[in-house]
Structure 1
Amino acid sequence: MTRPVEILVSSLVVGAGFGVATSLVNALSHSYADLENHAYTTTGWSIAEIMSVLLDSGWAWAGLAVAVGWLVTRARESSPAALALGGATAGALVLLAATVAYSIVDTIRSGGLLPWYEFEWPWLFASVVFGAPLGAVGACVKRSGAIGLLARLTVPVGAAVQMVVLPPGRNEVVETIGRTIVWTAATASIGSIVVFFLLVERRRRSLAAAESP
């Protein structure tokens, strides 16, 4: 399998799987929700709903593009430009596939008669506009130095920021649980990434000092 075909297939398969999973988890969360009950509406929650708000958050979709950009460019490419191009292509494709799969499954579940793509053009456009740079960021994850550090911090920092600007959930309880989970995971990730970076940089400087005359 040639490299472009590998990137295409991997991106489409992963994206379609994510889109289908997100739609089905949303459906599961709705099946547990008793929105006619005032108490449940204001304070109720379920594990399925928490999974739904986490999977269907902007940071999770952004993380998907970054992860696939990293995944398909782990092998050595001819140049940083090739890495970035492969990651950008993968990022755009994976979000396109996820959006299409999500929309098709939602249409099937709801018994809709209109073609699934009638109202999805803005999301398809956004998949390319945001997916390409996010995929390119993923391609930089394996790089050393400040560029690699910033690339690795993109998803956890973005997730933490979203919890401040646009927390997920339909009531305060769901928002609190969602924010707690995301902030905990983001804090742990950021701390691990920074500590690992500092250790690697310290080792690199020690080796450079030992090799210098």
Structure 2
Amino acid sequence: MKIILGSLAAGAGLGAATSLVNALSSPYAELGAPLTGTVWASAAKVLSLLMDAGWSWAALAVAMGWLARTRALGALAGALALIAATGAYYVTDALVWGAGTEMIRWWVVGLPFGLVLGAVGAAIRRPGLTGLLAALTVPVGAAVQMVVLPPGPHLTVTSAMVLAEVIVWTASALGAGWAVRRFWATKRAGTAG
């Protein structure tokens, strides 16, 4: 029960925080307009680029699955986290921006992805190739997103975009390195024992 409530809380927190950070980073939002041109606006922009990315939401579902430990509970935890994140995101958007919602459409997408990603997160604990591939899901997914859909909707490159890309590439490399190191360490421990 704790993991279910934790997944709902973590999802709602990520969704609401993402919407708020998006509003703080925009000079066109009521919350962001007073910050325009300040270091706080730049920081909010970097956070917005990091939080409002597919890989970060996928990481939420994987993390909840990892915490759940079992495949079935992990799948449920991942799906609930994405459903709560989507709901909180669009409710916060409606309050902050007065924006419309595409919540139902994203729930339809988030449910199957959350189930799969949560199960993947639970599989990280497994030794061998299964655990390695599961542990590589988020770092590789983030790297692929950086190639296919890098942060920033603008044609001009900004320092916030560059910093966000550096953070994602660094975190992806560190995450992949951790996964590979863990794989080899468990493989050596298995052959030594």
Q: Which of 67, 73, 78 is the matching residue for 1:91?
A: 78
1:172 maps onto 2:172 in alignment: no
Q: Which of 117, 122, 144 is the matching residue for 2:127?
A: 144
| 1:10–1:72 contact (8 Å) kept in structure 2 | no
Let me know the Cα RMSD of the aligned residues: 1.7
Structure 2 unaligned blocks of 5 or more: 27-31
* Partner in structure 1 of residue 4 of structure 2: 8
1:201 maps onto 2:170 in alignment: no
Counterpart AA for 2:73: G
- CA offset digits 1:47-85 (Å, max 9, x no partner): 210111100100000000000111122xxxxxxxxx211
- SS of aligned partner of 2:24: helix
Range 136-145 or range 184-193, more displaced = 184-193
| 2:15–2:87 contact (8 Å) kept in structure 1 | yes
* Partner in structure 2 of residue 77 of structure 1: none
* Partner in structure 2 of residue 100 of structure 1: 87
Shift in Å at residue 33 of structure 1? Answer: 4.6
What is the percent sequence identity of the aligned residues? Answer: 48
Give 1:1-213 correspondences, 5 Å limit: 5-30=1-26, 31=32, 32-33=35-36, 46-73=42-69, 83-111=70-98, 116=101, 119-169=102-152, 170=154, 171-173=156-158, 174-207=160-193
Return closer, same or farther for 1:8/1:199 CA change in 2, 3 Å cut-off. closer
Distance 2:3 2:43 in 1: 34
- CA offset digits 1:130-176 (Å, max 9, x no partner): 11100000111111111111111110111011000000113422433
Distance 1:124 1:182 in 2: 26
Shift in Å at residue 201 of structure 1? Answer: 1.0
TM-score for both structures, normalised by structure 2:
0.87
Shift in Å at residue 108 of structure 1? Answer: 0.6
How many residue pairs end up in the alignment?
A: 180
- CA offset digits 1:174-206 (Å, max 9, x no partner): 433222211111112211221222122112201
Moved over 3 A (4+): none
